[in-house]
Amino acid sequence: MAVVKLWYRFTGIFLKALYRVIYGKSIRWGKALHFRRGLQLTAELGGTITIGDNVFFNNDCAVHAIEEIRIGDGTIFGENVRIYDHNHRFADADESIKGQGYSTAPIVIGKHCWIGSNVTIIKGASIGDNCVIGAGCVIDSSIPSNTVVRLKQEFIKEEVRHG
């Protein structure tokens, strides 16, 4: 296990240096940013990403900004979390979606949050401090501090007929 942790630390240092070279000050992070395999950070078209102290990203997370994404201190992310501050425009049926540009809105994630696996956070979302966002949720609006958000599970019993 020590070898695996050492490997994550080594690759983390390398990737942080690479992000500094590619994105400069468009992507900033505080002390003790830790992440596992497959973290993707992109800040394009003037966008910025600001990550606080002691933030952890589990495997295969992605944060993509063309406007602004801010993540507070002590927030942790489960596997496969996706964060996008933009969406494709698609109102003009005569123009390809790719050619219509983007609509954007900043995203703010508070301090000491737990964002569960397979969560998607999209433009305009604001998550207060000390929130828990359950696995599989899509967040597109404001969540007050000290809130737990989860998917409602409904089990539907279907009758199986043989005959």
Backbone angles phi and psi of 6, in degrees to 5? -65, -40
User: Looking at the annotation, which residues are catalytic?
Assistant: 88
Whole-number average pLDDT of the chain: 90
Is the dihedral angle over the CA atoms 47, 81, 50, 38 positive or is it negative?
negative
- Give SS3 for 35: strand
What pLDDT shows up at residue 161? 56
pLDDT exceeds cutoff 60 at 155: no
Asked if 114 and 129 count as a contact pair (C-beta separation under 8 A), the reply is no
What pLDDT shows up at residue 1? 72
What percent of the chain shows pLDDT beyond 70? 93
In angstroms, the Cα distances linking 50 to 47, 76, 101, 150, 161 are: 10, 15, 24, 26, 56
pLDDT tens column, 58-72: 999 999 999 999 999
Asked if 8 and 30 count as a contact pair (C-beta separation under 8 A), the reply is no
User: In 10 A of CB 69, how many CB atoms?
Assistant: 26
pLDDT tens column, 5-43: 777 777 777 788 888 888 889 999 999 999 988 999 999
What pLDDT shows up at residue 160? 53
- Going along the chain from its start, the domains and CATH numbers come out as 2-149 (2.160.10.10)
CA 129 to the chain's CA centroid: 16
Output the pTM of the full model: 0.86
